[in-house]
Chains A and B, each alone.
Chain A
Amino acid sequence: MIGVFICFCGNNIGGYIDVQQLTDYFNEEYPADDVVAFNTTFLCSEIGQDLIKEKIEELNLDAVVIASCSPKHHGAIFQACIGEKMNQYRWEFANIREQCAWVTPNKKNATEKAKAIISGAIEKSRLLEDIGSTRVPVTKDILVIGGGITGMHAALELSAKGFHVHLVEKKETVGGNMVRFDRVFPTDDCAMCTSSPILAEVAMDPLIDIYSLSEVTEVKGRPGEYDVTVVKQPRYIDETKCTACGDCTAHCPVEVWSEWDEGMGLRAATYKPMAQAVPLKNRINMDSCIRCGTCENVCKAEAVMYNEEPKEFTMKVGAILVATGYELIDLKNTEYHQEHPNVISGLQLERLKVPSGPTAGEILRPSDGKMPKHLVFVQCAGSRDRRYNVYCSKICCMYATKNARLIKSENPDMKISICYIDMRTAGRGYEEFFDKAREMGINYIRGNVSEIVPDGEDLILKVEDTFTSEPLDLKADLVVLSSGLIPSQGTKDVASTIHLVSGADGFLAPVHVKIAPVDTATKGIFIGGTTEAPKPIQECITDAGLVASRIASFLKDDDIEIDLTTSKINPEICIKCGTCAENCVYDAIDTTGENYEVLDVSCMACGKCSVTCPTNAIDLSLYTEDQVIKQIDGILAEDPDSIIGFSCYQCGYNAADLAGTAKSFIDPKIKVVLVPCSGRVTMQHMLYPFFKGARGVFLAACLEGQCHYIDGNLQAKEKVKLAKKALDVMGVGGHKLNLFNMSSAEGPKFVAAAKRMVEICQ
């Protein structure tokens, strides 16, 4: 017996759909007689939940169908409610609010559409099975990748909670970008004064192990127990012996541009990046070392080891924080001409400003070491531009203003201009900060720099003063690019090593931007700071605190519970061809044993494994091949003229919900079938609706490059391409099958897709 519970949702559904008629239909006219239907004003209320629980018990229901709002709304509530009386996965939803009531103005049409949606849910619910859970032990150690301000802060927070932290840093020292700044806005504090206590604390914390010059090369295992391989590059100086006395640096004959100083100053082949380095040890950079042996001779500690090799070692951790941060976009050989010596980046300016830097805090232009007369900041250099970064880098307005103010106050005669598109100074004390800058006589020009034309050692900036509507040729003798922020190389490397999802901008994507900003789609792996997006320091610190708290709750017990909503393999028919394993980006299929097995804890339940299995041996729980087919059967039995829209859980379905929230019109022909990922949709799913008379089929998937399961939508794209051709060969017509990409926020795109499908399938 299947119980259908239909919600009026006050007027939200009741005002658009004849709920009573719907209920009667399922009780009296529906072809299958094992269906009973009930309705109530608010199903999510306690009264509604009691009704569900009561009927499950009274009628000994096998499955429940909830016809109400989007499962993204109250799905968890219903699951918990049903879970009290039967297996919590023995229910199926019918989204008749967002995807029916709110998008169908005609009450009769809406009621008919609701019938089809519910019928689909009923038929699918017949194949539901109990899904259990399992507990797996966890390791309590934590890996933090990246020793910037976010990584350091999170490490300290975690150690304070009693966890053992491995802090892996690619550079010679931890500290990240912040320790290279002069001062920080909006307080104009000295960056080093703020961060050096943190550096010292990290260095001395007995629960934090620091691995400098190290990179994570492999992560295997599952949430709660990751096996991590780290490679440490040689320092060529024995860390246990070096006292950082500096004798070697003093005697080293080599002088090359210093990376730490962004090429603004020089360093020797053996050096320490800064006096507060952690660990406080020298390093020989073999790219510049000439192996003259001088350092070896002068080192009293006998620490020099020219023949040191890279070391590989492994560790077991329960959770991972990725805090690999950002770097600046390189604008060489563009219209910004960053290759010109007097066009420098914001970070280079910081190095010039730092009192301990190469110019001892003097602003001297690189070409001739003279103080510039006209300094121009170029805002949005590589930001808010389709050719570089379409996004706003968030911090540039403030840091350019900060540096302009500091320089102006030290050099009142220097002319300073800032060319900008919009000044974005949202934040406590920010607007006041900007206000003061104008008062100081900093020249703000509203106009984007179109091109920087070198004119000998000087530069001419092509810009329109948009307030006077006049093009300007701005002559400058030092140009500072407020270059856009991009994900660091480390961020990109880690994303491919651990298979994390990046957004279109390359920054790592959280599982939900708003409500889960530091969690990733992979349980046990977290992100924070500028790994997620450009953001100022105080937000990084906030992230660090949050992420430490999230990790602590994740690892608080000795084991964690995992629902087995995973893929399953039938070993009897599996031919071990390896196709599924190749499709799985989470290495969740163990191919080493007698039979292939899904590693339940690693499986992310996207279902991509099952789509190309030649023998039907692997299938995904909750969205099995047959369940999806049955749902289509149910929908088309009520309305064969439908257009089936497979929508992915992360984007397409959300977009469809948003279209409803916006009360857009969607043709009632459109019927959404939820799938975890567009990559889960098989060839059969694409073709089958046509066999049953459907007018068209489409897939609503994430934007390319933004699939929450890495490449599901790209696989879907390939499949759709082939299926379209196949439909053409069969004479059905490939144009009736289409794939649309949209983000979860793009309701209008779903509306457009639906409209397009209706046009095509007329």
Chain B
Amino acid sequence: MPVEGAEKVQNEAAEYKAQSGENEMDQEANKTPKVEGCEFGDVVDCVTCKRCSLVCPTELDLERVVRIHRYIKDSYGQVKGSHRDVFRLASKLSGMADAQGWLTGIDEGDDIVFFPGCAALFDLLLQRDTNYSGNAKAAALTLNKLGYKPEIVYGCCGHDLYYSGALDEFELIKAENMEKLKGKKIVVSCAEGYHMFKNIYGLDVVGFEEFVLEHNPEFVNTDLKTTYHDPCRYGRYNEVYDAPREVLKKASDFREMENIREEAICCSVSAWMNCNKYSRDTRKKRLEEAKATGADYLVTACTKCSIHLDCIHFEKNSEDAEALEDIKILGTAQVVGYALGVYDPFKEEVDYIVPETAGKFLEPLKIQKNVDQYIDDELLDNAFLCTTCKNCTIVCPNHHDTASMMEEFRSELVKKDLGPEKHSKIAKAIMNTGNAFGEKEPMTPHPNEKAEYIYYPGCVANYRRDDVYQATKKILDLLDVDYEIPEGLVCCGSVLRRAGHEDEFQDIREKNTELLRGKKVICSCSGCYATLKKDYEGLDVYHITDIVKENIDKLPLKEVKKKVMYHDPCHLGRKFEYYDIPREIIEAVPGVELIAFEKEKENAQCCGAGGGVKSAKPDIANNLAKKKMDEAKEKGADMVVSACPFCELNLNDNCEEIPVVDILNLLMESLGEVKE
């Protein structure tokens, strides 16, 4: 759900420019800040931090999709966590056996339940001589100090299993935990446990920080200089933003970081899933932010955040580790314990014991994966809501390729014949006729074997937007570009891949590749361009605007007195950071006044048509297009220009007042060749 924070995230680019201190004219010319994107589209790379929900135009529930997708992949044995997956394994083992006590020196009773979580296991299995479990210890001691004798229930809340797709194992653990915890008031000192018990178990749970606030104790050591990192499970999942801050303000010398609350950057690994160089960069950024505040301690309310953020400190011979040496990580409970004088986070020894246990012999779990039980209408609905616009990638802390991940998930569903009927029809049409519209005629060829270039018109231009088709040809002629359209071309398959019809796509790709390989391919449609360039292999692909930009002087452009707005097609813009060339071409037309959309370039709002949404969920596509066009109307535009026939189609469908034309049409008008 887009919330207030979205605004800030969307304006990151603008801020960047403002910081560089250049005037507005220069800013336009200035290169848009590069999104250091990663091409990781695998579902295990998603950190489920929900930062994407700030900008998703269709407001889909990604976290749910990710979980089920991981469940499916886990059934193929394809889900592997970091650290050789040992932590998920430990969770499973803890669930199968009876986890044992490791907290010492606590005055125990039955006033309340305290659930210390798994930190001791992390300390052991990380092999790093750490004391993350100190946070639970500090929390328990704090409870004592506040006058409570807690009953300590050991075990694993199952968070990592739940979010890594080990849902069956999670259910077993959940059932066991419910036995122990049902009907009791539980305090946890870890955001993950809090989220799980509150939302997934539905238990009466209170976060440690809230609990401390309720009792308002007197703090004695308030000298630590702290800043606070919002764990996703507290923040975006539960909107617990204030309690930890209130506590830290009272218990220490507190200051804020740059990205906080809704916009907080994630610690970048979730449920011990994949860690990679992008997540490492994210962590580094986060620590730099913390250091910039002047704090000595980056405090967080989640043990996992502590561990991941601390990771950089264990790097060997690393400049970053040295530079960030003096920003240390603590848990909120550790700060509170210290402030109350009941816990010393700075003493050397790790303060927990491991009792020798008799242990039990474990029977291997007999789990039959049953994917169907998790597939319901809501999931399917969500799965096909994505327009693959990649706006989420921009705000994702790891710049994760969420769109590819969705495509992969859809293909899983399509394999089970669970895709929308519309998509299947289109797929069938493409397979039968070679185009998405089911037209019998093959794509019009333009034989010219000797040509250096191939023009690949694509279905929309070929069958529905003849104006674009003609315009392209005309302009290519004007620019003296020798081209051919080979016989036998079929749809590029973009819609197939986006909608999860992977097998069909492979077929199509093979057919086209054979015809297109070896020559320079020009596309006028952004969807085709993106598909040929990214989803095909070994092709040399250009967008028509590339060609035009190079030779714009050759075109005898005449004045067009119009206020024009440019709509960034997602598949051209965010996918290739292709923002400036179309704008330069538009501005090259004399008399044109270019007005910007409020959100543009990497923050541009999708037209709503992509990813099969236009066909499967037309209402949503139409609404988004309307929204976009309303803005154009408001801003008094005479014309909206884009570089993707598909966007234009959808936007045109939803606005009668203002024409939406292709950038080539604008050029044609300027060249005086507009045919009504």
Chain A contact residues, CB within 8 Å of chain B: 572-579, 581-582, 591, 612, 614-617, 625, 636, 640, 682-684, 687-688, 690-693, 695, 718-719, 722-723, 725-736, 761
Contacts and interface: CB of A to CB of B under 8 A. Distances in A.
Nearest to A721: B124
Contacts of B552: none
B356 A734 contact: yes
B99 interface: yes
B355 interface: yes
B318 interface: yes
Contacts of A591: 317
A591 to B, nearest CB: 7
Contact of B93 (A572, A640, A691): A691
Nearest to B93: A730
B116 to A, nearest CB: 11
Interface string B265-301: 0000000001111011000000000000000000000
B362 A691 contact: yes
A733 B359 contact: yes
A725 B354 contact: yes
A419 to B, nearest CB: 51
A723 B82 contact: no
Interface string B654-668: 000000000000000
Interface residues of B, number: 47
A728 B127 contact: no
B367 to A, nearest CB: 11
Contacts, number: 152
Given A572-B277, A579-B316, A687 B354 contact: no
Q: Which of A576, A695, A732 has the most CB of B within 10 A?
A: A732
B94 A730 contact: yes
Contact of A572 (B276, B354, B359, B365): B276
B148 interface: no
Nearest to B314: A577
Interface of B: 80, 82-86, 89-90, 92-94, 96-100, 102, 120-121, 124-125, 127, 274-277, 279-280, 311-312, 314-318, 354-365
A187 B193 CA distance: 83
Contacts of B356: 728, 733-735
A24 to B, nearest CB: 26
A578 B100 contact: no
B209 to A, nearest CB: 26
Contacts of B127: 612, 683, 718-719, 722
23 contacts: A573-B275, A575-B276, A575-B277, A578-B317, A591-B317, A612-B127, A614-B275, A616-B83, A616-B84, A684-B86, A687-B86, A691-B365, A695-B361, A719-B127, A726-B90, A728-B100, A729-B94, A729-B100, A729-B354, A730-B93, A730-B100, A731-B94, A732-B362
A727 B92 CA distance: 12
Given A573-B276, A690-B362, 11 more contacts: A572-B276, A575-B277, A616-B80, A692-B364, A723-B125, A728-B356, A730-B90, A730-B93, A732-B360, A734-B354, A734-B356
Given A682-B86, A687-B93, A688-B89, A733 B276 contact: no
Q: Which of B93, B279, B317 has the most CB of A within 10 A?
A: B93
Contacts of B89: 684, 687-688, 691
Given A579-B316, A615-B274, A616-B80, A693 B363 contact: yes
A593 to B, nearest CB: 14
- When A and B form their complex, which 5 residue pairs have the shortest distance between CB atoms, in order from nearest? A733-B359, A578-B316, A731-B97, A693-B364, A575-B280
A675 to B, nearest CB: 14
A731 to B, nearest CB: 4
A734 B358 CA distance: 8
A760 to B, nearest CB: 10
A729 B311 contact: no
A732 B84 contact: no
Given A579-B316, A682-B84, A730-B121, A693 B102 contact: no
B235 to A, nearest CB: 25
A729 B364 contact: no
B303 to A, nearest CB: 15
Contact of B99 (A614, A616, A729): A729
A729 B86 contact: no
Contacts of A579: 314-316
B548 to A, nearest CB: 36
Given A576-B318, A577-B318, A612-B127, A731 B90 contact: no
A532 B124 CA distance: 40
Contacts of B82: 614-616
A186 B275 CA distance: 68
A591 B317 CA distance: 10
A283 B276 CA distance: 59
Contacts of B125: 683, 722-723, 726
Contacts of B358: 733
A761 B280 CA distance: 42
Contacts of B98: 731
A516 to B, nearest CB: 34
A683 B364 contact: no
A682 B315 CA distance: 19
Contact of B276 (A615, A636, A690): A615
Given A730-B100, A734-B356, A735-B356, A614 B361 contact: no
Contact of B311 (A577, A616, A617, A690): A577
A726 B121 contact: yes
Contacts of A693: 361-364
Contacts of B362: 690-691, 693, 732
A45 B292 CA distance: 72
Contact of A731 (B100, B276, B279, B314): B100
B360 A731 contact: yes
B93 A732 contact: yes
A369 B166 CA distance: 86
A735 B358 CA distance: 8
A693 to B, nearest CB: 4
Given A574-B277, A576-B277, A582 B316 contact: yes
Contacts of B93: 687, 690-691, 727, 730, 732
Contacts of A719: 127
